[in-house]
C-alpha cells in the first residue's frame, strides 16, 4: 500500500522552541532590525558589513541550537506518511532531526553563494562569512538567502509538492510573506488542513483550517493518532 502524502509548510515558529527568534513576535528579529537594513539587495550594496554581521549572528545561534520535539515528531510521521517539508526557515533543524525531504523556500543559512554566479553555492564550515571570502571565480560570497525583493526560485517545486498533498500541516508561520503564504492555495480542495500556532485562533484563516492553538513542540508529538484517523476515516 502506498503511503499518503503529508505536506508541512513551516515558518519561524517551528524553530522557536530551539531558541531561534521568530520575525514578527514580540522580541522578534524585525523588532530589532528593519528588513531594509539587513534583508534586501540594497542593504547588501549599501552596508555589506552590517548584513554579514546580521547573518553571522543568526548562523552562530544556529550552530548552538538543536532540533526540538516538533522537528522530531515529523521524523516519526515518516513511518506512516510520505512526508514533504516546505519551509520558510533558513535553519537546518528539520534536516538535523532526520527529515528526508526538505525544500527551503528562503535559502539556507549554512550556505554561501557567489555574487557573480548564483549557481556556485558552498557549505560553510564555520559560522562566519566575512568580507574577502571569495568564490572560485574570485567574487565576494554572500549569504545563500532569498532577500526581500528577490525571486523565490523554489516556488514551482513547492507548488508541485502542494498539489499532491493528502494532508497539509501549516506550522509556526504568520502567513504574511508572499509568495510562500500563497502556497496553501495550491493544496487540493477538500483535504484536511491543520494550522498549528499559539495564535492560530486569532488568524483570519480559522474558518478554512483546523486550528490548534499551541506550540509546535507540544502539539506535533500528540497529533499522529488524529492524522491517521483522518486518513482512515476521512
Interacting residue ranges for ligand APR, rule: CB under 6 A: 11-13, 16-17, 22-25, 28, 88, 106, 171-174, 176-177, 197-199, 215-216
Q: Is the dihedral of CA 133, 135, 141, 144 positive or negative?
A: negative
Check if 84 is active-site.
no
User: Which residue, 5 or 22, has its beta carbon nearer to ligand APR?
Assistant: 22
Q: Phi/psi at 84 (nearest 5 deg)?
A: -125, 125
Estimate to the nearest angstrom the gap between the alpha carbon of 131 and the chain centroid.
27
Whose CA is closest to 216, among 15, 35, 78? Answer: 15
Which residue's Cβ lies closest to ligand APR?
13
Closest contact distance (angstroms) between CB of 122 and ligand APR is 21
Closest contact distance (angstroms) between CB of 232 and ligand APR is 27
Active-site annotation holder among 71, 84, 104, 106: 106
| Three cell numbers, residue 175 | 502567513
Q: Other CB atoms closer than 10 Å to residue 195's CB: what's the count? A: 25
User: Which residue, 102 or 135, has its beta carbon nearer to ligand APR?
Assistant: 102
Question: If residue 31 lies in a helix (H) or strand (E), which one and from where to where?
Answer: helix 29-32
User: Which residue, 136 or 226, has its beta carbon nearer to ligand APR?
Assistant: 226
Residues with catalytic annotation?
A: 106
Amino acid at each position: 500500500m502506498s503511503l499518503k502524502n503529508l505536506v508541512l509548510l513551516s515558518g519561524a515558529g517551528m524553530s522557536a522552541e530551539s531558541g531561534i527568534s521568530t520575525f514578527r513576535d514580540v522580541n522578534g528579529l524585525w523588532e530589532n532590525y528593519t528588513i531594509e537594513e539587513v534583508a534586501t539587495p540594497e542593504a547588501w550594496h549599501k552596508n555589506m558589513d552590517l548584513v554579514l554581521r546580521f547573518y553571522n549572528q543568526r548562523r552562530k545561534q544556529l550552530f548552538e541550537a538543536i532540533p526540538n520535539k516538533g522537528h522530531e515528531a515529523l521524523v516519526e510521521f515518516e513511518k506512516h506518511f510520505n512526508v514533504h517539508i516546505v519551509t520558510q526557515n533558513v535553519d537546518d533543524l528539520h534536516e538535523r532531526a532526520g527529515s528526508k525531504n526538505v525544500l527551503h523556500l528562503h535559502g539556507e543559512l549554512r550556505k554561501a553563494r557567489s555574487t557573480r554566479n548564483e549557481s556556485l553555492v558552498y557549505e560553510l564550515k564555520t559560522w562566519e562569512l566575512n568580507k574577502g571570502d571569495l568564490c572560485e571565480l574570485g567574487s565576494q560570497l554572500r549569504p545563500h538567502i532569498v532577500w526581500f525583493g528577490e525571486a523565490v526560485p523554489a516556488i514551482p517545486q513547492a507548488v508541485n509538492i502542494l498539489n499532491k498533498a493528502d494532508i497539509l500541516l501549516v506550522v509556526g508561520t504568520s502567513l504574511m510573506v508572499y509568495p510562500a503564504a500563497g502556497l496553501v492555495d495550491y493544496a487540493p480542495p477538500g483535504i484536511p488542513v491543520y494550522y498549528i500556532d499559539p495564535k492560530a485562533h486569532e488568524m483570519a484563516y480559522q474558518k478554512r483550517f483546523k486550528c490548534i492553538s499551541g506550540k509546535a513542540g507540544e502539539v506535533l508529538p500528540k497529533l499522529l493518532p488524529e492524522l491517521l484517523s483522518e486518513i482512515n476515516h476521512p
